[in-house]
Chain A
Amino acid sequence: MTQYGFYFDATRCTGCKTCEAACRDYHNLDLGTTFRHVYELEGGGWNQAEDGTWTTDSFTYYTSFACQHCDDPACMHVCPTGAMHKDENGIVSVDTGRCIGCGYCHMACPYDAPFVDRAKGHSVKCDGCKDRIAEGKQPMCVEACSMRALQFAPVDQLPEGERAAVAPLPDPELTKPNLYIKNCAAAHAVGDTSCRVANEAEVK
């Protein structure tokens, strides 16, 4: 089996969310729903000297991710009907005919990737734009990124990067995500609690 995955060059990302916008548009997602998340993380603080001047050791960085099409997908393990499955390219997707919309996948995924579309009655999620991949195109998010920070390809063809081990993502050992990241200088390691999500309302 081929395993596709994402590569994210965090050193180029400006948090513009064009990846997310392009995805929402192409997949015609309802307001309030998204397959891709752009987390803004910040930490550090400010210090005022006796003369009134300010210095800061604060930092801010973004991480953009969608479904990681994990080697060991939590969503698949909890799916009671087998609707959630991996295809021949390693892409995790929903067999909508089998899905009963129970929402277990949504609860199990540590990346908040699948969710239940109540109107459709089944789970929905990033499918790696597999129709476009079949036509030799790139996923919408990849093609949209003005900074060329995203790639999607069989993982052995992706540039070298660390396996999704950056805060606020969960420990990659949990599900073995197929997201490889070139970290930016401001990045903090998985599990670091000195930083906080600075755009909570935008990633709900």
Chain B
Amino acid sequence: MREATTMTRRTFAKAAGLAGLAAAGAGASSGLFGEAPKAFADEEASDEQIVYTHCHVNCGGACVLQCHVKDGELAYVESDTAGSSEFGGVQARACLRGRSIRRWLGSDERLNYPMKRVEGTKRGDGKYEQISWDEALDTIASEMKRIRETYGSESIFIQECSGVEQNIMMNNPFFRLSNLLGGEVTRYGSYSSASISFGAYPYVYGGSWGNRSFKTLQDGELVVMFGFSPNDMRMAGDGPGYDLAVAMEQKGVRVINIDPRRTETCTNLGAEWIPIVPGTDAALVAALAHELIANNLIDTEFVNKYVVGFNEDTMPEDAKGQHLSYYDYVKGTGYDMVEKTPEWASAITRIPAERISQLAQEIGTAKPCFICQGLGMQRHANGDNASRSVMALALMVGQVGKPGTTSGGTIGNGGIGLSSLPTGDNPVTVQFPQYLWPEAIRDGEKLTATHDGIKGADKLNVGIKMLINYGNNMMANQNGDINTTTDILRDESKCEFILQYDVAWTDSCNWADIVLPDLTPQETYSLSAAGECNDIAGIRFGQPLYEPKFERREIYEVCAELAERLGVGDEFTDGGLTREDWCRRQYDELVETVGDTYDMPTYDEGVAMGAFSYDIAPSMDNDPFIDDPEANPLTTVTGKAQIYSPEIAEMAKTWTLDESEKNAITAIPTYVPGPDSADDVTDEFPFQFVDFHHKCTTHSTYAHNPVVQEMAPFQAWINPIDAERMGISDLDTVRLTSAQGSMITQAKVTNRIMPGVIMHAQGSWHSAPAEGDRTDTGRCTNTLTSRQRNPISKGTGQHSLICAIEKVEE
């Protein structure tokens, strides 16, 4: 239990008569609220105040920032000191990124004033002039009106946001405003997880199903992770990387990590690393299935009861007798008629055949066995199939839906579902896949349902004419193939108006017509829920650390002013509510909903405490589908878990793919080497290239914080064997080149990467001229990546890539 011992004057006024508290350990607390306030007496005497806020930037964590503020400036940051500091206890301790936020808030790269592109210059020229907020908002409002009237509501798109995701506002004020005016075209899927969410889960389980967190791990059990690095990028003190480490130490859990790179789970923590050629996981799974079959390690009883499509017996009636099962694929009696022996897979994955056989033995005999995947694998070509294949592996050994397991998909999470600002109803139902937003600008009405995955209509009726970017760096950083993307943006006849509204001047600003300066979540009222990637029920309360500086303004107030200009001001603010009012309202509604389940503080008590967390005890129950599949069917068309998907079989008949995509829609998760796979390396581009999430950033958030860059630089990881061959030494300046573009960066020569592969932390800020050879000196990996998309989900397959590397003489 924690007591708020220091408070700001502002919070004191609100919290008068109330008490602070926190709880850790579900059910361990009751009656903790309502005590008299303590320790406010020193406040006038002290020039230092503690103001609570949080770091929640889409890594999955929601970490407490206990900020020491002196003379209106942030002096230093502590994190979560409530709860238990013992190993295994719950504290949302911020990682190096959150702990370094003081330098970030004061960065020279912050946006301070509204800016507009200088007349007569083109997008990408980078020439901007300061304007007043009135001029900026007048322009945006009139463009909203003009474009809606000219092209219809379907021509307006509000981009995915990442840097402010999951807090009380997100980019919802723009949706709320737009919906009051007629709505907008929307996207489905996210950049991060489109292939697993829209190309795998729906067809295997009918949707996300069966995911459990590492807290479910049992004594001595085996964890097998495909392309997952929770200790690299989800570093919160209550996050999944921590949970896994606790289970390894306290429960003797053994971990095998299959990845082209030695992740942090395989450094000091001591997990076993099996290096694999990027993009070949589905081939490995096929050979594992071969060995499971050969050694009678398939859980036949489970498969017969719960699974469709493993073998002939479990095929749907209309697909029987055609050798379409996964068994036929593996045994070489169907599909390509090639037996998927360990030797077959070893030539593809470069994993020794005997290790594959041994791994099958380990997976087939471990009960329970926790088989999971990260999100990297599904961002490769045919990542839909790769993702489904790992789910199929878990199904074949019956390790889903029970304690100690997950779904073969991602790990699970749970928490308190805090609702963000209500957006109202959007009358426009047409949606496109998130990854294809540049194509939705360029090709517009040419995008169809059966070629491009348009939902809610047979095709788009109009291209995107107005692009609203808030809290993202999508245009010239976080989207595949920056050069192609910005070529599309440069053409003002396509997208006629672009807004960029962010906290810092990223290269994406250089492609906007108007740029607005935002407050960070630490500079305004904020409210966030924990539990995005872990099993933690908790809320984080955020108060502004200081008064707004320069002319920075937060999104809700700005959208309210736009609403006023467009005649919907009162509806937008619901009669004049402020951002802080909404925080209070949404929280109060939450207490009404779940206050019986969790002992929750009042809003004012929460503000004084900054945060509360309850550890969620793992369920020891089977999923209802496992207990009684007849009574509790899944929502797939067959009601069972599907290794063979009738939905995808139908899709394969009706959808069209570009020949050049080298993709395939297959009803079972076959291995399909897509374009730019290991098979495709050439003398010109002799390496596979993959970018990865590193401790230096979350996506591109914080990427230009110099203190973090010193500790965790953006580098191209290359194996010593390759480096020697290429004449490259550690820390050399190198040029990476793909068919899409070229970038300058620094080499890290390390055994942590398998030969033939170069990997580079993603998220660094693009810095390149808009014309000429467009070499990027900002170490932004999307200079290299492609517009490759996956066949089922239309999610990104951009991580399948081949490249060249050469030393650059400085």
Contacts and interface: CB of A to CB of B under 8 A. Distances in A.
> Does B bind A?
yes
Interface stretch (A69-77, A117-125, A143-151): A143-151
Interface stretch (A20-28, A107-115, A170-178): A20-28
A144 B63 CA distance: 12
B465 interface: no
Contacts of B100: 21, 24-25
Contacts of B707: 21, 24-25, 31
Contacts of B755: 46, 48, 54
Interface of B: 76-79, 81, 85-87, 93-97, 99-100, 102-103, 231-232, 235-237, 239, 241-242, 245, 249, 262, 264-270, 273, 275, 343, 346-347, 350-353, 355, 695, 706-708, 710-713, 719-721, 730-731, 748, 750-752, 754-755
Contacts of A45: 720, 751
A26 B103 CA distance: 12
A12 interface: yes
Residue among A48, A58, A186 with the highest chain B CB neighbour number at 10 A = A58
A157 interface: no
A106 B740 CA distance: 48
A13 B270 CA distance: 10
A49 interface: yes
A186 B270 contact: yes
A21 B351 contact: no
Contact of B352 (A21, A32, A44, A53): A53
Interface string A53-64: 111101111100
A31 B710 contact: yes
B79 A144 contact: yes
A181 to B, nearest CB: 11
B695 A16 contact: yes
Contact of A15 (B102, B264, B708, B713): B264
A169 to B, nearest CB: 15
B237 A146 contact: yes
B268 A18 contact: no
Interface in A189-204: 198, 200-202
A83 interface: no
Contacts of B102: 25
A194 B116 CA distance: 58
Given A21-B100, A53-B351, A146-B237, A14 B245 contact: yes
Given A52-B347, A146-B93, A146-B242, A11 B752 contact: no
Contact of B706 (A15, A26, A31, A184): A31
A51 interface: yes
A185 interface: yes
B364 to A, nearest CB: 22
Contacts of B748: 198
Going nearest first, the 3 A-B pairs with the smallest beta carbon separation are: A58-B751, A146-B237, A21-B96
B719 A11 contact: no
B711 A49 contact: no
Contacts of A62: 267-268
B268 A10 contact: yes
B721 A61 contact: no
A51 to B, nearest CB: 6
A56 B751 contact: yes
Given A12-B249, A18-B94, 6 more contacts: A12-B269, A46-B754, A54-B754, A62-B267, A184-B270, A186-B268
B712 to A, nearest CB: 6
Contacts of B751: 42-46, 56, 58-60
A59 B270 CA distance: 9
Contact of A14 (B235, B355, B720): B235
Nearest to B269: A14
A55 B730 contact: no
Given A53-B350, A146-B242, A21 B711 contact: yes
A14 B267 contact: yes
B99 A144 contact: yes
Interface of A: 10-18, 20-22, 24-26, 28, 31-32, 38, 42-46, 48-49, 51-56, 58-62, 140, 143-148, 184-186, 198, 200-202
Contacts of B262: 58, 60
Given A11-B249, A53-B351, A202 B711 contact: yes
Contacts of B231: 14, 16
A5 B96 CA distance: 23
A145 B93 contact: yes
A107 B284 CA distance: 53
B96 A15 contact: no
17 contacts: A11-B249, A13-B267, A17-B712, A21-B96, A26-B76, A42-B751, A42-B752, A46-B751, A51-B346, A54-B350, A56-B273, A56-B751, A60-B752, A143-B78, A146-B242, A184-B269, A198-B730
A147 B268 CA distance: 12
B352 A18 contact: no
A138 to B, nearest CB: 8
B731 A200 contact: yes
Contacts of A24: 100, 707
Contacts of B695: 15-17
B688 to A, nearest CB: 13
Contact of A46 (B76, B94, B713, B719): B719
Contacts of B351: 53-54
B87 to A, nearest CB: 4
B100 to A, nearest CB: 5
A99 B339 CA distance: 75
A2 B644 CA distance: 68
A185 B731 CA distance: 28
A54 B719 CA distance: 12
Nearest to B754: A54
B99 A18 contact: yes
A10 B249 CA distance: 12
A153 to B, nearest CB: 13
A148 B238 CA distance: 11
Most chain A C-beta atoms within 10 Å of own C-beta, residue among B99, B241, B245, B351:
B99
Contacts of B235: 14, 16, 18, 146
B47 to A, nearest CB: 16
A17 B752 contact: no
Nearest to A42: B751
A146 B238 CA distance: 8
Contacts of A184: 268-270
Contacts of B273: 56
Contacts of B346: 51-53
A45 B724 CA distance: 13
A42 B85 CA distance: 31
A10, A22, A184, A200: most-surrounded residue (chain B CB, <10 A) = A22
A202 B715 CA distance: 12
A127 B275 CA distance: 42
B268 A11 contact: yes
Contacts of A52: 346-347, 350
Contacts of B96: 16-18, 20-22
Contacts of B706: 31
A20 B711 contact: yes
A200 to B, nearest CB: 7
Contacts of B97: 21
Contacts of A147: 87, 237, 242, 245
Q: Which of A26, A52, A54, A55 has the most CB of B within 10 A?
A: A54
Contacts of B103: 25
A183 to B, nearest CB: 9
A11 B231 CA distance: 13
Contact of A185 (B239, B270, B708): B270
A25 B77 contact: yes
Nearest to A137: B81
A204 to B, nearest CB: 9
Nearest to A187: B268
Contacts of A58: 262, 751-752
A25 B731 CA distance: 27
A60 B96 CA distance: 20
Given A11-B249, A26-B76, A58-B262, A16 B267 contact: no
